[in-house]
Chains A and B, each alone.
Chain A
Amino acid sequence: MESTRYQKLISNIEPTEMILNMGPQHPSTHGVLRLELITDGEIVKEVIPHVGYLHRCFEKHAENLTYQQTIPFVDRLDYLASMNSSHAWVMGVEKMLGIDGDIPKRIEYIRVLVCELNRIGSHLIALGTYGIDIGAFTPFLWCFRDREHIMNMLEWASGSRMLYNYIWVGGLFYDLPVGFEERCKEFIAYFKPKMNELNELLTGNQIFISRTANVGILPLQTAVNYGCSGPMLRGSGLKWDLRRVDEYSAYPELEFEIPVGKGEMGTTGDCWDRFKVRTDEIKESVHIISQCLERLQTDLKRTPDFDPRAKLPKKIIPKAQDYYVRAENPRGELGFYFITDGKTEIPKRVKARAPSFCNLSVISEISRGVLIADMVAIIGSVDIVLGELDR
């Protein structure tokens, strides 16, 4: 067998160079990611990511469980955005069953509501921990303080703080609890000025800008070729959001903008742009939530006879087919590829296309020749979740 690029890199190392292992236990790698750096002094010559430390055989599990039983496993892929992950999975199964048009409007709006809440929570972690990576401790505490409200609300709805199992095939676990809409409105009123405070503290901070602008520049061509998605792709300046492209669930009826990186502080596609896209996306999510609440309190109001489990299929046996579903997660395009045989309740094959997986693969391309300190800034700006990366 011919030698791999990895073997060539390691065997051709110069006497002046040093191999430095960053991770798997390193605070700035956001989990158990290991980066093998070939360094020349402070300069990073080459980055070799090693992943798989959190591999939990998701695809093998999915081949042995029914679609409904797999939802808790799907929640554990991207554990910071469980609602969004299970929404994608459920949409795929519903499309295969052919019941995607029968889902009541109220359920679609509740799904979008909880997904957007979860998206804000996920982005708050990304922004807060990025601040810590760069050396700003206060924003982290502010972000977690605000995220706590979201966690409490989602716990109230689903019974769990992070791994919800709330969105089911054909419906929901429960309807929203009485008073949820009012509580959510209060949260929105509280949260709106908090984003401006965060922007004043961190996004516009000169020290932060110096650390992130013109660092880790990802040109659009490279981003597309490496299959980057989500804020990584939008940070490089392309308006590409599957919520608009595929127009799934209740999104066609909702108004929101797609923020893109413009290179305001440096070059388009640098770390600062990716950070800015996330802060802007939080504002858009708040806007979406307000619209959902408006509808959920007027024409889609709760009625005593409304049953969120009414459309739940008794047996989930899709026809023999294969189907690839994709949806916009906080980190980008989450996809599931199903192959079914039409006879059993268990899929023949499931492949999960995780956004972090593709987003991380570009890291050796964008971090050649940077300083080790900038390496930390680059990893943080990719915003990986190892749970879905390793599956």
Chain B
Amino acid sequence: MTFEEVKELLIAKFGQEVIVQEEPNGHQPALIIASKSIAAICLELRDNEKTWFDYLSCLSGIDYGVDENIFGIVYHLASLPYKTTLTLKVKQYHDRSRDELPSFQTVTDVWKAAEWHEREAYDLLGIRFEKHPDLRRILLPDDWEGYPLRKDYKVQEYYNGIKVD
């Protein structure tokens, strides 16, 4: 299925408002999805026999910079039967306050592969995933402070009494 056909399929099923924006140009055209429907859309794309995006290649958490204060997730899907790929994005404004983390729906129910990728996004960027079964840090120690891949990250001076260089 081409990019346009996937878009039409999603609009027919979920309505116009689920696609916030599209990036049709470039090497890999992408759809920006309303973040409250991302899990439902992923499930539909996986199970619809016209798309069959049964493989989650990559899930990346993104901090789009201190000027915009936008956090996002990029999903790279692949369909093994049809050998096609698709890029989906969700974005959200967040003011970087420490009390509450930016939060997105989890897609672990759709692809189990997302579980560790989402833990990594939580670990390195401080993005929460609602209803994620096991949201813990994965690469860094459990008592690490801050989220290193955020654009405003300052490394802590001491970690367990050891100076961090």
Contact = CB atoms under 8 A, between A and B. Distances in A.
B58 A337 contact: yes
Contacts of B116: 357-358, 361
Nearest to A244: B83
A244 B135 CA distance: 36
Given A60-B149, A225-B113, A226-B112, A4 B57 contact: no
A121 interface: no
Contacts of A95: 27
B134 A322 contact: no
Interface in B57-76: 57-58, 60, 62-63, 65, 74, 76
Interface in B33-90: 54-58, 60, 62-63, 65, 74, 76, 80, 83, 87
Contacts of A283: none
Nearest to A362: B112
Interface string B115-158: 11000000010000000011111111100000011000000000
A335 B57 CA distance: 8
Contacts of B161: none
Given A59-B124, A324-B28, A326-B57, A349 B62 contact: yes
B68 to A, nearest CB: 12
A63 B65 CA distance: 12
Interface residues of B, number: 35
Contacts of A351: 58, 60
Nearest to A55: B139
A6 B113 contact: no
A324 B136 contact: no
B14 interface: no
Contacts of B141: 52
A337 B139 contact: no
A143 interface: no
A227 B60 contact: no
Given A337-B60, A357-B116, A225 B111 contact: yes
Contact of A321 (B27, B76, B115, B137): B27
A324 B112 contact: no
A339 interface: yes
A349 B60 CA distance: 10
Contact of B54 (A4, A224, A357, A361): A224
A51 B138 contact: yes
Interface string A317-330: 00001111010000
B15 interface: no
Nearest to B89: A322
A90 B88 CA distance: 24
By secondary structure, the A interface counts as: mixed
Contacts of A245: 83
Interface string A50-70: 011001010110010000000
A353 B28 contact: no
Contacts of B55: 224, 227
A227 B140 contact: no
Contact of B115 (A238, A353, A361): A361
A324 B56 CA distance: 13
A390 interface: yes
Contacts of B60: 337, 349, 351
Contacts of B111: 225-227
A256 interface: no
Interface string A1-45: 000111000000000000000000000000000000000000000
Contacts of A55: 139-140
B113 A5 contact: no
A248 interface: no
Contact of A333 (B27, B57, B115): B57
A361 B58 contact: no
B87 to A, nearest CB: 7
A324 B113 contact: no
A57 B153 CA distance: 13
A322 B54 contact: no
A278 interface: no
Contact of B134 (A6, A59, A238, A365): A6
A187 interface: no
B58 A324 contact: yes
B58 to A, nearest CB: 4
Nearest to A222: B112
A391 interface: yes
A4 B133 CA distance: 6
A63 B150 CA distance: 11
Contacts of A96: 27
A39 to B, nearest CB: 20
A160 to B, nearest CB: 27
Contacts of A6: 134, 136
7 contacts: A4-B135, A57-B148, A60-B148, A240-B80, A322-B26, A348-B65, A353-B58
Pairs of residues from A and B, 4 with the lowest C-beta to C-beta distance, nearest first: A227-B113, A351-B60, A52-B139, A353-B58
